Structure 1
Amino acid sequence: MNVLRKILFPFAILYGFITTVRNFLFDKGILKSTSFNVPVIAVGNLSVGGTGKTPQIEYLIRLLSDKYKVATLSRGYKRKSEGFVLANATSNAEILGDEPFQFYQKFPNIQVAVDANRTNGITQLLSQNEKPEIILLDDAYQHRKVKAGFYILLTSFDDLYADDFMLPTGNLRESRSGANRANIVVVTKCPSNLSNEKQEEIRLKLNLTCSQQIFFTFIDYDDEIYSKDEKIAVSEIKKEPKILLAGIAKPKPFFDYLKNETDECLTFPDHHHFSDADLEEIQKKAQNKKIITTEKDYVRLKDSNLISQLYYLPIKSTFIANRQNFDATILEFVKRVV
């Protein structure tokens, strides 16, 4: 914790008080939450920063979209459009935001929508001729104007909410007690060989209620990188000089998976909109080398002048154990509501 964050501690206390009062008003029904007669699953976190929401949403899409009509609803962070937007063939990352556009590109059999007002967004989705049977709310844990039927709370292995504090001293958007709303807590970005003893230690630290389930996942990187025309094995690409580029919250694991001692790593802010000056600087540094980026960054860069050199590395969320129990819990909830 840096000095400035320590100085701002009184503001963290005030912010925590405000969010606690807000949650109390929603819990008591004084502030209105809207429920819907379709299964609504909210995925989010207590903290700012990357906890792996995108791969978790994609896991749910793969689990559910073969059996049900699925829609995702996101805020569309840093998009240049306003209000409710339903993705179509003319959409791009500037209209939808990078993560929703990634969903739209990867899963053509689902509906992808964005709206900062989640209540309006769900209402609009349900007014479509082909209305969804399930709605996945991306990054909506604190959006309490919608009462989801099921809440999945994510927390990173190396940054557990139990070890954190309220903004601006820490990174929590609300107090740790907000975890009590979760049906499931997923500890993300774990080592793939996380021991049972360490899992039990984390269970005890998070102090979940008897009705809550906990699962542990790790980020599983693809064995190949992809461009618009080809794919190359990671084992091959690791050997050659290249540029690694990331505009995500925590890029170190991505860099570590691909880099060798000759590579240059370029880091940009999360959800960064690449300017012409950025692109010119990247191209100058790359020269004739391949540029490998994250899948989220690729959707923002694929229409740029970097495309002939540009590749991306897909990731997915993989359960260390008990995946079948997670799947069964989600499917049981959906069947109760549909």
Structure 2
Amino acid sequence: MLLKVSYPLHLVYKGITSFRNFLFDQGLLKEFHPEVPTIGVGNLTVGGTGKTPMVDYLLDLLSDRNLGVISRGYGRKTKGFLEIRPSSSAEEVGDEPRMLADKHPEARFFVSEDRVKGIQRARDLYSDIHTFVFDDVYQHRYLKPDFLILLSDYHRPFYKDHVLPYGRLRESRKGADRADVVIITKCPLDISESEKKGIEKEVRRYSTSPVFFASYQIQVPQNGKGNQLEKGSKVVLLSAIAENKKFFEQQSKNYEIIKHYAFRDHYKIPPIKIKEILSKHQDVAILTTEKDLVKIRQDIGTEDLDRVFTPVVKVEMGEDFGKYLRTQLGFVEKP
């Protein structure tokens, strides 16, 4: 029954998104090309391809540039253009932009649903920004970045998926041909060259752009003082992300999980619930994600912060990608 309903809706949605792309491709809907170098990060899939860790990686990779970052600010309670300042809360600007701004104080961060207006406002404020990075911009076609990165999850590649609601794609697989580069994310560290070639062959059906491979490595959880969580410890998991189940599976390999409090992605867990969890599990470490911590930190007393740990996700790629990116954008090699 579900298939009978979802497949016709899938055809309708696919038709609408394909027609929209056709209008842009023919120039009937206009794209804005900023005057400064711009990088766009996005995907064809609804959630879960690792956009935020990749933006984090790009900011490290281009740390010699004067950077600006523009996100939609998904889940925020405000609207319009906002600059992210040290005093901005996750509720005002979104959890992921707030987290990235904390990690990269040298860059300037902004949120704006309208990316074109966003970069125009940001440029008015800071004309010295050399390069802009746009998070989750693949379907925002009114903006045309100089370098558009398409992310695809190794475990759920776009070339095996279907358009909503029959699958998880936001648009047809053909949309991959807009990418300047395709990055397969969350690859195993020991992925073989033969498997890479097989994946590249599948991608080539939809895109002729270079294909790179990235591993997402989960570091040992640390608290605010930099103390690591001892392997085998009893923990309570607390997460409001797109892949709660995967978070549980990853942490259960190293820790004894007593309870997992899981909520929908970007959900702001009420302070009273945080206090209830802390009170119920007074002698147990709390293990949460980086983006969840930026939302709940103010609700945790100083006496409990030391037992709150977060694992950092690090992207690992070869040097070839960084060199290729800089070459395409005309940047000199990083000193």
TM-score by length of 1: 0.91
Aligned twin of 1:166: 163
Aligned 8 A contact 1:47 1:173 in 2: yes
- Supply the distance in 2 between the matched residues of 1:109 and 1:261 (Cα, whole angstroms): 38
Aligned twin of 1:190: 187
Of 302, 314, 328, the match for 1:333: 328
Aligned twin of 1:226: 222
In structure 2, relative to structure 1, the CA distance for the partners of 1:55 and 1:8 (3 Å cut) is same
- Supply the distance in 1 between the matched residues of 2:166 and 2:15 (Cα, whole angstroms): 14
RMSD (CA atoms)? 1.9
Q: Please identify, of 252-261 and 122-131, the stretch whose mean Cα deviation from structure 2 is larger.
A: 252-261
Letter in 2 for 1:222: Q
Instruction: Confirm whether residue 302 of structure 1 aligns to residue 297 of structure 2.
Output: yes
Of 75, 78, 83, the match for 1:78: 75
- Supply the distance in 1 between the matched residues of 2:92 and 2:207 (Cα, whole angstroms): 42
Of 227, 237, 242, the match for 1:244: 237
CA shift at 1:263, angstroms?
3.1
- Supply the distance in 1 between the matched residues of 2:291 and 2:87 (Cα, whole angstroms): 19
Aligned 8 A contact 1:6 1:169 in 2: no
Aligned twin of 1:106: 103
Q: What's the secondary structure of 2:321's corresponding residue? A: helix
- Supply the distance in 2 between the matched residues of 1:221 and 1:113 (Cα, whole angstroms): 27
Of 274, 279, 283, the match for 2:274: 279
- Supply the distance in 1 between the matched residues of 2:19 and 2:247 (Cα, whole angstroms): 39
In structure 2, relative to structure 1, the CA distance for the partners of 1:202 and 1:86 (3 Å cut) is same
CA shift at 1:208, angstroms?
5.0
- Supply the distance in 2 between the matched residues of 1:217 and 1:154 (Cα, whole angstroms): 10
In structure 2, relative to structure 1, the CA distance for the partners of 1:210 and 1:227 (3 Å cut) is closer
- Supply the distance in 2 between the matched residues of 1:291 and 1:182 (Cα, whole angstroms): 40
Instruction: Confirm whether residue 145 of structure 1 aligns to residue 142 of structure 2.
Output: yes
Name the count of aligned residue pairs: 327
Letter in 2 for 1:333: Q
Q: Please identify, of 28-37 and 254-263, the stretch whose mean Cα deviation from structure 2 is larger.
A: 254-263
In structure 2, relative to structure 1, the CA distance for the partners of 1:211 and 1:101 (3 Å cut) is same
Give 5+ residue unaligned stretches, structure 1.
none
Q: Please identify, of 325-334 and 24-33, the stretch whose mean Cα deviation from structure 2 is larger.
A: 325-334
Q: What's the secondary structure of 1:333's corresponding residue? A: helix
CA shift at 1:80, angstroms?
1.2
- Supply the distance in 1 between the matched residues of 2:61 and 2:113 (Cα, whole angstroms): 26
- Supply the distance in 2 between the matched residues of 1:252 and 1:77 (Cα, whole angstroms): 21
Aligned twin of 1:205: 202
- Supply the distance in 2 between the matched residues of 1:326 and 1:6 (Cα, whole angstroms): 43
- Supply the distance in 1 between the matched residues of 2:10 and 2:277 (Cα, whole angstroms): 38
Aligned twin of 1:324: 319
- Supply the distance in 2 between the matched residues of 1:14 and 1:161 (Cα, whole angstroms): 19
In structure 2, relative to structure 1, the CA distance for the partners of 1:105 and 1:24 (3 Å cut) is same
Aligned twin of 2:63: 65
In structure 2, relative to structure 1, the CA distance for the partners of 1:179 and 1:242 (3 Å cut) is same
CA shift at 1:211, angstroms?
4.4
Q: Please identify, of 90-99 and 13-22, the stretch whose mean Cα deviation from structure 2 is larger.
A: 90-99
Of 120, 128, 132, the match for 1:123: 120
- Supply the distance in 1 between the matched residues of 2:152 and 2:294 (Cα, whole angstroms): 26
Of 12, 15, 27, the match for 1:14: 12
In structure 2, relative to structure 1, the CA distance for the partners of 1:90 and 1:262 (3 Å cut) is closer
Aligned 8 A contact 1:115 1:121 in 2: yes
Q: What's the secondary structure of 1:13's corresponding residue? A: helix
CA shift at 1:283, angstroms?
2.6
Q: Please identify, of 18-27 and 288-297, the stretch whose mean Cα deviation from structure 2 is larger.
A: 288-297
- Supply the distance in 1 between the matched residues of 2:291 and 2:4 (Cα, whole angstroms): 33
CA shift at 1:277, angstroms?
4.6
Letter in 2 for 1:226: Q
Aligned 8 A contact 1:50 1:248 in 2: no
Aligned twin of 2:214: 217
- Supply the distance in 2 between the matched residues of 1:63 and 1:292 (Cα, whole angstroms): 28
Moved over 6 A (4+): none
In structure 2, relative to structure 1, the CA distance for the partners of 1:133 and 1:258 (3 Å cut) is same
CA shift at 1:134, angstroms?
0.5
In structure 2, relative to structure 1, the CA distance for the partners of 1:35 and 1:275 (3 Å cut) is same
CA shift at 1:286, angstroms?
2.4
Query: Identity of aligned pairs, percent?
Result: 36
Aligned twin of 1:258: 251
- Supply the distance in 2 between the matched residues of 1:210 and 1:310 (Cα, whole angstroms): 43
- Supply the distance in 2 between the matched residues of 1:336 and 1:137 (Cα, whole angstroms): 18
- Supply the distance in 1 between the matched residues of 2:154 and 2:4 (Cα, whole angstroms): 24
TM-score by length of 2: 0.92
Q: What's the secondary structure of 2:125's corresponding residue? A: coil
In structure 2, relative to structure 1, the CA distance for the partners of 1:9 and 1:210 (3 Å cut) is closer
Q: Summarize deviations over 1:86-138 as a string: whole Å, max 9, x none.
A: 11122111111011101110101000000000000000111114531111000
